[in-house]
Amino acid sequence: MAESAHGTSNGGRSARRRRRSRRSNPDGTMTLIEHIYEFRRRLGWALLFVVIGGIFGFIWFEQHLGPIPSLGNIMTGPYCAIPAQQRFDGNAGCKLLQTVPFEAFMVRLKVGIAAGTVLLSPAWLYQLWAFIAPGLYAKERRYAMIFVSFASVLFAAGAVLAYLLVPHALALLAGFGQDQFVTALTADKYISFILSLLVIFGVSFELPLLVVMLNRVGVVKYRQLKRWRRGILFGLFVFAAFATPGSDPFSMLGLAGALTLLFELSIQIARFHDRKLDAARTDEGWDQLADNEAAPFAYTPSTVEPDRPAPPARPDRSTDDIT
């Protein structure tokens, strides 16, 4: 009896695995319960990759990877760039303050998970893509891949720019005290400041990609972007002033200047795209048609596909737990 139940269980898992396979199920059709099982499986793999990346980042925090410095040295680099006379006990080295017993451990864990998630992002993003892709057409998959690729590059560029600006921002803020103050940053607040700045810059750099995609699908046109340019540029500077932690001028001007250049680039891309569409409409003669005149489409309706044979009835199974 146990052997029979075990064989039935293995057969059910094999059948579900075959239904998820592209070779036996090219259109990716699944029932609701199968979608839930697939989502649970993909989510489990994604969380596993995040955990593995967190463990790697936790170890990397104190270990050098050949010529690559440790993650701790990378994160404390902007703080160590502050002149020694402006840091608390700067002559003894460059160290952050720990105010509670587990602060160092929690900071190391937070930084390790963040770094591991970024490094293993192709692995867990693939799990998300594998769950969504069966429901997309080939053209939609191509656009989605282009969008994700450019989004990753822009996010990384924004994070790198933020990291380069942080030392100048910290030096400026620490210099206001002159000889009356000394900079003594706690580990938790300093790391939170660095991570938030990296995320803000990275997400902000997605703006031009959003503008280009909206122009591609016809939501906004170049004429509209040109008319709204001054207001949008003013809004970018206001956003940079509120978004940058500490509101220091280096971070604000760096973010606003980069967003202005990227927005101008996206406007020129929209201009080229709209000009190409207008040329195509002129060649086809669509602009000369009256409102009640049919467009000269050479359209042949497709035939109705024959009905597919009904799948064989599955044996009755007891209710399965989906949680």
Compute the average pLDDT of residues 41-61: 90
* Whether residue 224 has pLDDT greater than 70: yes
Provide the 3-class DSSP secondary structure of residue 97.
strand
Q: Give the torsion through C-alpha atoms of 28, 34, 36, 37, to 10 deg.
A: -110
Per-residue pLDDT at 75: 85
For residues 323 and 245, the model is more confident at: 245
Per-residue pLDDT at 323: 44
d(CA 175, CA 41): 53
Specify whether the backbone of 111 is left (phi greater than 0), alpha (psi in -120 to 50) or beta: alpha
Per-residue pLDDT at 178: 61
Distances (CA, A) of 94 to 63, 81, 85, 166: 17, 9, 11, 16
41-74 in b/e form (b: 16+ CB < 10 A) is ebeeebeebbeebbebbbebbeeeeeeeeebbeb
Tell me the percentage of the chain whose pLDDT exceeds 90. Answer: 4
Give the lowest-confidence range in 6-10, 99-103, 107-111.
6-10
* Whether residue 127 has pLDDT greater than 90: no
- Per-residue pLDDT band at 179 (split at 50, 70, 90): low
Compute the average pLDDT of residues 268-286: 79
* Whether residue 48 has pLDDT greater than 90: yes
Per-residue pLDDT at 139: 75
CA 23 to chain centre: 30
- Per-residue pLDDT band at 55 (split at 50, 70, 90): very high
Tell me what the pLDDT averaged over the chain comes to. Answer: 77
Give the lowest-confidence range in 10-24, 56-70, 86-100, 134-148.
10-24
258-268 pLDDT, tens digit each: 889 989 999 99
Tell me the percentage of the chain whose pLDDT exceeds 70. Answer: 72
Contacts 24+ apart (CB under 8 A), 214-222: 215/266, 215/269, 215/270, 215/273, 215/274, 216/273, 220/270, 221/270, 221/274, 222/267, 222/270, 222/271, 222/273, 222/274, 222/275
Per-residue pLDDT at 52: 93
* Whether residue 5 has pLDDT greater than 70: no
For residues 23 and 262, the model is more confident at: 262
Provide the 3-class DSSP secondary structure of residue 152.
helix
